[in-house]
């Protein structure tokens, strides 16, 4: 059966502050710069999800978009949109950088989305900054 890759983009707006208790205030300012300003700031994030699988010979689909949209809305957009990322339980001890947000979203999708393979999650923080996570690929390049 022919394998195709399907990608879909979602949007969410959230605030965050990059700060870790493991650094002194000076170290936090030195490492995170203006992202360490005490009251936080926000971004319009774009989350791009790539899944893959055989194209169903009847429907012509890798997966039903309304299922993917429903899952993403319920488990990702509703959770992070118009929220303060620092207050999300997953960032209680983890700095809500876009790298960590990308990995958290990957974890949620790979644990919860059935019937298709998650290939990659890409999170764009601004139009100039984006991060991608494709899971652990232990056997690659060995």
Partner 1 sequence: MVLLTRKAEFSAAHYYYIDAWSQQENEKVFGKCANRNGHGHNYTLEVTVAGEIDPVSGFVVDLKALKDVIEREVIQVYDHRHLNLEVPEFRAVVPTTENIAIAIWKRLESRIAGARLQRVRVYEMPDLFADYCGE
Q: Compute how many residues bind partner 1; rule: CB under 8 A.
A: 19
Is 69 within 8 Å of 8 (Cβ atoms)?
Answer: yes
Is 11 within 8 Å of 47 (Cβ atoms)?
Answer: yes
Q: Does 62 bind partner 1 (CB under 8 A)?
A: yes
Stretch that binds partner 1, among 6-14, 16-24, 35-43, 110-118 (CB under 8 A): 6-14
Q: Does 64 bind partner 1 (CB under 8 A)?
A: yes
Exposed/middle/buried for 41, CB within 10 Å: 0-12, 13-18, 19+? exposed
Q: Does 30 bind partner 1 (CB under 8 A)?
A: no
Q: How far is the CB of 40 from partner 1 (least distance, A)?
A: 27
Task: Measure the CA–CA gap between 46 and 49, rounded to whole angstroms.
Answer: 10
Q: Return the residue of 24, 34, 38, 59 that touches partner 1, per CB under 8 A.
A: 59
Paired residues of 47 in beta bridges: 10, 123
Stretch that binds partner 1, among 3-11, 26-34, 86-94, 108-116 (CB under 8 A): 3-11
Q: Whose structure tokens read 């790979």?
A: 110
Q: Does 134 bind partner 1 (CB under 8 A)?
A: no
Task: Measure the CA–CA gap between 92 and 95, rounded to whole angstroms.
Answer: 8
Q: Which two tokens stand for residue 66?
A: 């309304």
Which residue of the set 19, 43, 63, 125 is catalytic?
125
Is 9 within 8 Å of 47 (Cβ atoms)?
Answer: yes
Please confirm, yes or no, whether 125 is among the known catalytic residues. Answer: yes
Taking the least distance from each CB to partner 1, the nearer of 18 and 76 is: 76
Residues involved in catalysis:
35, 82, 125
- Which positions lie near partner 1, rule CB under 8 A? 2-10, 50, 55, 58-62, 64-66
């Amino acid at each position: 059966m022919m394998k195709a890759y399907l990608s879909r983009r979602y949007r969410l707006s959230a605030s965050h502050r990059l700060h870790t208790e493991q650094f002194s205030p000076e170290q936090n300012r030195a490492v995170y710069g203006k992202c360490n300003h005490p009251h936080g700031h926000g971004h319009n994030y774009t989350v791009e999800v790539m899944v893959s699988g055989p194209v169903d010979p009847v429907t012509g689909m890798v997966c039903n978009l309304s299922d993917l949209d429903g899952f993403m809305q319920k488990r990702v957009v509703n959770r992070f949109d118009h929220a303060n990322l620092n207050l999300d339980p997953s960032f209680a001890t983890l700095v809500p950088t876009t790298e960590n947000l990308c990995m958290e979203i990957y974890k949620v999708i790979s644990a919860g989305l059935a019937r298709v393979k998650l290939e990659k999650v890409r999170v764009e923080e601004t139009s100039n900054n984006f991060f991608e996570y494709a899971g652990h690929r232990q056997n690659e390049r060995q």
